[in-house]
Amino acid sequence: MGSQSDWSTMSHASETLQKLGIEHECKVVSAHRTPDLLFEYAETAEQRGIEVIIAGAGGAAHLPGMCAAKTHLPVLGVPVQSSMLSGVDSLLSIVQMPAGIPTGTLAIGKAGSINAALLAASILSNKCEKTKAALKAFRAEQTEKVLSNPIPGKT
C-alpha cells in the first residue's frame, strides 16, 4: 500500500488472505515518497516467490500502475477512499491505464480490498489445489449464511 493510512482499507485484503490460508506480506511502498523502493520491490518480487501483487493507494494513485510497469506479475489495484474526492480520483487513476500495461482494478474501499484478495485467490487456484478448496469453502459458507438467515417474520 502507498501509505500507513491505507492500512484500515488494506487490512481487509490481508484478513481475507489469512482466512484462505494464503501466505502474504504487507508493506508500505510509496510511488512518490519511496520511488526507488517501489522499483526494487516490483523488480525483485518474482524472484522472491511472489505470484500476485495487490496494490492499494489513494488520491493520485499511481502505485498499482507503476508497480505493473516494473513487473509482469498480475497487479490488482485497490482504490483507497480519499478524503477530498471519496476515492473516485483513486479509482480513475488506477483503472484508466493506457493500453499495454494493465492493472486489474477493484471497487473503492473495503469491498475492493476483500475482492482483491478473493481475485488473487482465484488466480492462484489455477495451480494450487489447497487455495481452490479454500476459495470454494469460503463461497459455500457465504451462500449458506444467506440461505440460513431468512428475513425475520417472512417465509
Positions in the binding site for ligand RP5 (CB under 6 A): 2-3, 5-6, 30, 57-59, 80
Indicate the residue type of 22. I
Nearest distance, CB of residue 2 and ligand RP5, angstroms: 3
Q: Which three cell numbers stand for residue 103?
A: 492493472
Query: Nearer Cβ to ligand RP5, position 5 or 44?
Result: 5
Beta-ladder partners of 78: 56
In whole angstroms, what is the distance from residue 88 CA to residue 94 CA?
10
Alpha carbon distance 120, 73 (integer Å): 11
The CB-of-46 to ligand RP5 minimum distance in angstroms stands at 23
Nearer to ligand RP5, 6 or 17 (CB): 6
Angle value at C-alpha 70, between 101 and 92, nearest 5 degrees: 45
Q: CB 77 → ligand RP5: shortest distance, Å?
A: 11
Residue at grid coordinates 516467490: 49
Measured from the CB atom, the residue of 79 and 104 that comes closer to ligand RP5 is: 79
In contact, 57 and 6? CB cutoff 8 Å: yes
- Pick the closer one to ligand RP5 by CB: 40 or 46: 40
103 three-state secondary structure: coil
Closest approach, Cβ 62 to ligand RP5, in A, equals 8
Residues linked to residue 57 through DSSP beta bridges, in sequence order: 79
Task: Give the shortest CB-71-to-ligand RP5 separation in angstroms.
Answer: 18
The residue among 29 and 135 lying less far from ligand RP5, judged by its C-beta, is 29
